[in-house]
Chain A
Amino acid sequence: MTMKRHFDEDLDVLRGKLLEMGGLCEDMIHDAVKILTERDEVYLADVQAKEGRVNDLHIEIDEVALRLIALHQPAAGDLRLIAAALKINSDLERIGDQAVNIAETGIYLARMPRIKLGDIPRMVEVAVGMTKDSLDAFSRRDVELARSVIARDDEEDALKSQTFNELIGLMQSDASTIQRGMDIILVARNLERIADHATNIAEDVIFMVLGKDIRHHAEEKAAAAERSPEP
């Protein structure tokens, strides 16, 4: 018969803190992008306040996870959850940093005449969707949703390249747009990095649920090795 453990309550605390941090990061991306699209600097304070809480959670989650390892010597699914939590914690903190970068760039751009944003609006949609779904996949232990997040990373990469090309063309034709064009390229880069972190989180979810490490195309390599085994 399966026994309810006090340890499960500690794991719930860990999960709760990660989900709180994830929610804050999603909000930070939304707020940062509003500075850019609505040209309203009021959102900067929101981003900064949330960053403070995200940084606190970054430390708290590491502390909780290390305490659980030290005191409970977890194994199997418990160990994989804690290992995943430590990695997801780092990725979320980086997502928060990228949102701050977008907000700070947005402040400069909001004070300057508008230029076209390329595929930035679609990039925001993809990056925010990936971040949200990676956290939902973590919360629900949903491997299929995690795989769908990973699949979307290629779209974000393609959008970034498209935005780069479009803005390089603009800057070549009009030198007065160089500073703003460079800043929008940086925002595209920030969004692409957010999508990369969401992909990492999705990979960690798959490891947590299945115990399978799929990073760096490990699945494809294993399948290829099976098809053509070494002599």
Chain B
Amino acid sequence: MVKIMEMPTKPTVPTPAQAPAPQRLSMEVQGLKASYGGGWVVKGVDLRFYEKVITAIIGPSGCGKSTLIRCLNRMHEVLPSARMEGEVLLDGQPIMGLDPVALRRQVGMVFQRPNPFPTMSIAQNVAAGLVLNGVTDRAVLAESVESSLRKAALWDEVKDKLSAPGQSLSGGQQQRLCIARALAVEPRVLLLDEPCSALDPIATARIEELLLELKSHLTIVIVTHNMQQAARVSDYTAFLLTGELVEYGVTHELFTKPSDKRTEDYITGRFG
């Protein structure tokens, strides 16, 4: 029998037969605590994220799921009075020892509301990260724009209007533009914080299909309020409640036979 990854001791350990194919550990949080100056919003969470795997983080409003993923690329510390304790590792290296800009190039993020840069064209939006990192070669930039838009499944829809404003696109297209922008700097981890909450079901389905395509070469972490979405796209799911990790396991197991009653009550709509 194949020995897969060692899972954290606290969460439910996924059994090898039910887990996706063995993958390399990409990111890890150990004893993570985070606050906005008051009490801890995330209260000592241990969690692992694997390469080529989509991990969903679910939980009711205020449970700390967005705060947790914002700690993964040091977006949390940007807020005044924010505090973070514990360890976040990227490929085994503490991220606090990395330059935040360099870290965010490797750990990209897509937010709830599509936020293309308002004064930039579609192409400029996609190239923004590379330009910021000093790339000036037009051919390199053009190639990156095309490949990133293709990866984000947007190329065919925008290839004839690359100089149009990013904000001229529909909501779903804008969100895929933001994904293309995140992909352009070739990150290894993609964090998505409620990426479909402002989108209609068709646009949502396109993003979900896209994530399933992208996971072949990325580590993806998605925070979602939509439990069906977590069930549809993720391989692993972590359930957070009042800042604590209640259960972590293989998604189809967690949604069919959760081991913790609080998980059962949440996913069956008895609270939240």
Residue positions of A touching B, CB distance < 8 A: 1-3, 5, 7, 73-80, 210-212, 229-230
Contacts and interface: CB of A to CB of B under 8 A. Distances in A.
A29 to B, nearest CB: 33
Contact of A5 (B1, B231, B255, B270): B270
26 contacts: A1-B271, A2-B265, A2-B270, A2-B271, A3-B271, A5-B269, A5-B270, A7-B269, A73-B228, A75-B231, A75-B256, A75-B267, A75-B268, A76-B256, A76-B258, A76-B263, A76-B267, A76-B268, A77-B264, A77-B268, A78-B268, A79-B255, A79-B256, A80-B257, A210-B257, A212-B257
Interface in B36-83: none
B227 interface: yes
B1 A230 contact: yes
Contacts of B269: 3, 5, 7
A212 B258 CA distance: 12
The SS class assigned to the B binding surface is helix
Nearest to A211: B257
Contacts, number: 40
Contacts of A211: 256-257
Contacts of A229: 1
Contacts of A3: 269-271
Interface string B166-209: 00000000000000000000000000000000000000000000
A3 B231 CA distance: 22
B161 to A, nearest CB: 38
Nearest to A2: B270
A211 B268 CA distance: 15
Given A75-B231, A79-B256, A211-B256, 20 more contacts: A1-B271, A2-B271, A3-B269, A3-B270, A3-B271, A5-B270, A7-B269, A74-B268, A75-B227, A75-B255, A75-B256, A75-B267, A76-B255, A76-B256, A76-B263, A76-B264, A76-B267, A76-B268, A77-B268, A78-B268
A78 B231 CA distance: 15
A76 B257 contact: yes
Contacts of A79: 255-256
A111 B258 CA distance: 57
Contacts of A73: 228
A5 B271 CA distance: 10
A225 B95 CA distance: 41
A160 B231 CA distance: 46
A91 to B, nearest CB: 21
A210 B231 CA distance: 20
Contacts of A212: 257
B224 to A, nearest CB: 14
Top 8 A-B pairs, shortest CB-CB distance: A211-B257, A75-B267, A76-B264, A2-B270, A75-B255, A78-B268, A3-B270, A230-B1
B191 to A, nearest CB: 25
Contacts of A80: 256-257
Contacts of B231: 75
A78 B257 CA distance: 10
Interface in B217-272: 227-228, 231, 255-258, 263-265, 267-271
